[in-house]
C-alpha cells in the first residue's frame, strides 16, 4: 500500500542539539568507534576538536581529514557531513544561535573563519589561545568540582569574545542563509526520509512532502543540501548500515534488506564510493579496535 506523504513542518532536522541545562550549550567529550553522519546542519556554531584518531568532515565540496590537536568551526546553517573511520575521541561543542542572540547583534549574519594556514604570528597566537580555552573547558567539565561552572563559563565567554573580535568575517557572497520557509521544507523532507527510508521513496513522493513540483524540488534540494535527493537518501541508508556493522552481528545481506537496499551490486558500489573500503573490512577493523 502506498504511503500518503505528510507534512512534518514542526519536526526539525537541523540536527538535534543535546544541550546541558546548566550551560545552555552542548559540550561533549565523545568516544566513537566508527560512524557516518550524512549531510545535516545546526542552528548553532559547531566546533569539533580531535583528541585521538581522525575525523573526516565534508563541507562546501571539500573533504578535510582532521587529526589530534586540530579543530574546526562549522558556521550555523551550513550543511556538512562527518565520518569517523576508526576509533576516535573528540570534543563536540554546539553553541545555539538563541544563546548567541543574547549577547551579539543579528546572529543571522554571523560568519566566522579561522585561517589555520596563516603565517601571521598574531593569528597563530590567537588560534593557540582558542585551542587552550577549548582544552581548559574540557578539563573543567571532567573535573566537575563544586562551582566549576564559574570558570567554565569564563573560559566559554573568553573563547566567544576572541572568536568575535578576531575571526568574524563577511559572509561569503556565494553563501545565502536559508530562510525559515526553506528550512521548514528541508526539515519536512528529511524527517519524512528518516521515517520511511527502508522502503522506496520516489522523487514525486518527496516533492509532495515539500509541497513542490518534482522538477523544482530536485533543484531546490540540490541547491540547499549540496547533493541530489537520491544521494541523500542513499547516504542516510549507508549511515544506518555503517552503525549496524559495528553494533550488531547481522550479515551484510540482512543489513542491506533492513535498511532499504534491494540491489546488491548498487549497494556495494555506493558503499565503496563513500567509504573507500568494504563493509567486511569496516566490521573487522571495528572489532580489532574494540579489543585494544
Determine the pLDDT at residue 2. 42
Beta strand 71-74 with 80-84: parallel, antiparallel or unpaired? Answer: unpaired
Q: Which residue from 212, 239, 209, 208 is spatially nearest to 223, judged by alpha carbons?
A: 212
Q: What is the pLDDT along the chain (292 residues), one digit of tens a residue?
A: 444 444 333 333 455 556 556 678 999 999 988 889 999 998 899 999 999 999 999 998 889 999 999 999 999 989 999 998 878 899 999 999 999 999 998 888 899 999 999 999 999 999 999 999 999 999 999 987 889 999 999 999 999 999 999 999 998 887 877 888 888 899 899 999 999 999 999 999 999 999 999 999 999 999 899 899 999 999 999 999 999 998 899 999 999 999 999 999 999 999 999 888 999 998 888 787 766 6
Determine the pLDDT at residue 292. 65
User: What is the pTM (predicted TM-score) of this model?
Assistant: 0.84
Determine the pLDDT at residue 106. 83
Determine the pLDDT at residue 69. 96
**Distance between CA 40 and CA 12 in Å, rounded?**
11
Count of alpha carbons within 13 Å of 100, Cβ hemisphere only? 23
Provide the terminal-to-terminal Cα distance of the chain, rounded to the nearest Å: 48
Count the neighbouring beta carbons within 10 Å of the beta carbon of residue 160. Answer: 19
**Distance between CA 85 and CA 87 in Å, rounded?**
7
Q: Which residue from 77, 80, 52 is spatially nearest to 66, judged by alpha carbons?
A: 52
Determine the pLDDT at residue 21. 62
Determine the pLDDT at residue 6. 41
Place of cell 565503496: 272
- DSSP assignments along 63-86, one per residue: EEEE-TT-EEEE-TT--EEEEE-S
Determine the pLDDT at residue 5. 40
**Distance between CA 122 and CA 110 in Å, rounded?**
22
Backbone torsions φ then ψ of 63, nearest 5 degrees: -115, 120
Determine the pLDDT at residue 108. 82
**Distance between CA 114 and CA 127 in Å, rounded?**
8
Amino acid at each position: 500500500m502506498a504511503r500518503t506523504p505528510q507534512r512534518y513542518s514542526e519536526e526539525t532536522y537541523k540536527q538535534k542539539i543535546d544541550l546541558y541545562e546548566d550551560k545552555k550549550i552542548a559540550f561533549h567529550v565523545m568516544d566513537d568507534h566508527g560512524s557516518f553522519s550524512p549531510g545535516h546542519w545546526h542552528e548553532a556554531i559547531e566546533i569539533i576538536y580531535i583528541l585521538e584518531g581522525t575525523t573526516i568532515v565534508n563541507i562546501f565540496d571539500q573533504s578535510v581529514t582532521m587529526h589530534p590537536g586540530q579543530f574546526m568551526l562549522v558556521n550555523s546553517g551550513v550543511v556538512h557531513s562527518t565520518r569517523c573511520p576508526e576509533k576516535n575521541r573528540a570534543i563536540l561543542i554546539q553553541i545555539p544561535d538563541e544563546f548567541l542572540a543574547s549577547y551579539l547583534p543579528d546572529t543571522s549574519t554571523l560568519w566566522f573563519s579561522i585561517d589555520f594556514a596563516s603565517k601571521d604570528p598574531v593569528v597563530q597566537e590567537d588560534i593557540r589561545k582558542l585551542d587552550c580555552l577549548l582544552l581548559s573547558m574540557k578539563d573543567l567539565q571532567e573535573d566537575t568540582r563544586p562551582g566549576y561552572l564559574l570558570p567554565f563559563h569564563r573560559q566559554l565567554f573568553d573563547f566567544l569574545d576572541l572568536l568575535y573580535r578576531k575571526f568574524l568575517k563577511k559572509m561569503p557572497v556565494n553563501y545565502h542563509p536559508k530562510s525559515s520557509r526553506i528550512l521548514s521544507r528541508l526539515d519536512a523532507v528529511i524527517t519524512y526520509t528518516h521515517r520511511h527510508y527502508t522502503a522506496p521513496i520516489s522523487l514525486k513522493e518527496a516533492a509532495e512532502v515539500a509541497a513542490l513540483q518534482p522538477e523544482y524540488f530536485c533543484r531546490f534540494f540540490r541547491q540547499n543540501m549540496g547533493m541530489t535527493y537520491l544521494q541523500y537518501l542513499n547516504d542516510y541508508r549507508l549511515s544506518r548500515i555503517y552503525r549496524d556493522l559495528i553494533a550488531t552481528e547481522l550479515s551484510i545481506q540482512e543489513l542491506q534488506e533492513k535498511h532499504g537496499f534491494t540491489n546488491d551490486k548498487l549497494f556495494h558500489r555506493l558503499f565503496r564510493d563513500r567509504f573507500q573500503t568494504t563493509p567486511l573490512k569496516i566490521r573487522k577493523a571495528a572489532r580489532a579496535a574494540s579489543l585494544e
